[in-house]
Each structure stands twice: as structure tokens, then as C-alpha cells.
Amino acid sequence: MAAPGAFKVGDKAVYPAHGVGEVTDIQTRNMGGQERSFYIIKIIENGMKIMVPVETAAAAGLRSVITRKEAKEVMEILKSKDVAVKTQPWNRRYREYMEMLKSGSPFEVAKVLRDLFRLKADKDLSFGERRLLDTARSLLITELALALKISEESVEKSLTSIFGA
């Protein structure tokens, strides 16, 4: 993990619930009479730009892309037969999955993806659950592709072989 202030322009970084982005600039702005530095990060998936204060970047969950070894651990979580959230009814389950996605942990996001893919095989997902599935999928695919140095299409193929989806 990169230490706070350790990101440079051109580095890839992961921001919780937004996914992988590229540090496009580091700007200093005057906020309330104080000079503060911000990472300007462009999210790869949708082009959205976010500003993250350098001094609180780590607390906000900004982190480096996972290593190849960690990516392999994520793939093992996806293949696992465990179920992370057994809560009923669906709205409680939804809240738990949202918290897991917001954590920014690729391991938690992988559990959400795995659980929802399995649930989808048994029943139609609600609109909210489908949205969670899509979010988890997009958060993981880009990061796994970067970590494993393969294309996003290859990651999609791996998911298809794991889940048959």
C-alpha cells in the first residue's frame, strides 16, 4: 500500500465505491486560509474526476492497486462456496452488501460479487441487488485486470467460467 502523499501523477489508485482511477494532477488550493494539497483522480470506468485531500487520503480509503498475489486471493474468494451475508430480508442483506462495497476492500467486494452471482442463479435479483452486482463487478474487473496484467475481457471470461454467467 502506498503511504499518504506517496501517489504521483500517473499512478493508479483505488478509491472506495468508485474503483480504479489515475492520479492526473496534484493541486494546492487555499481552503479557509490554509493551503491544502489534493489528488485529482480520474476514475477509469466512467471518467469522473474526484478531488481527495492528500493529508486524509489514507483515512478516506485511497490505496494502491492490489498485488498479483492479492488478486489471486480475490479469485479464490470468488471460487469459494462460502456465503458472506445470510441475512433476511433482502433490504437488510442489501445494507450489509452496501457496507462491504463501501469498505473499499477488494476481498469484501469479491464476496458481494460471489454471493449475488450465486443468488442470481437461484432467483431473479431485485433492482437494487442487480445494481449491487453490477457495481461489485465493475469495481473488481478493472483492478483485477491491472493487478494480473491481463485484459478486462480476460477477467470477464474468468468470471464466466467461475459463475457460468
116-161 tens-digit pLDDT: 999 888 888 889 889 999 999 999 999 999 999 999 999 999 999 9
According to the model, what pLDDT value does residue 1 have? 42
Q: Provide the grid cell at 89.
A: 430480508
Domains of the chain: 12-64 (2.40.10.170), 68-163 (1.20.58.1290)
For the segment 96-122, what is each residue's pLDDT rounded down to a tens digit?
A: 999 999 998 999 999 999 999 998 888
According to the model, what pLDDT value does residue 83 have? 83
Integer angstrom CA distances of residue 81 from 58, 78, 89, 96: 32, 8, 21, 19
Beta-bridge partner residues of 48: none
Nearest to 139 by CA among 99, 110, 164, 115: 110
For the segment 33-80, what is each residue's pLDDT rounded down to a tens digit?
A: 999 999 999 999 899 999 999 999 999 999 999 999 999 999 999 999
CB 16: neighbour CB atoms within 10 A?
Answer: 17
Tell me if 61 sits within 8 A of 104, measured CB to CB.
yes
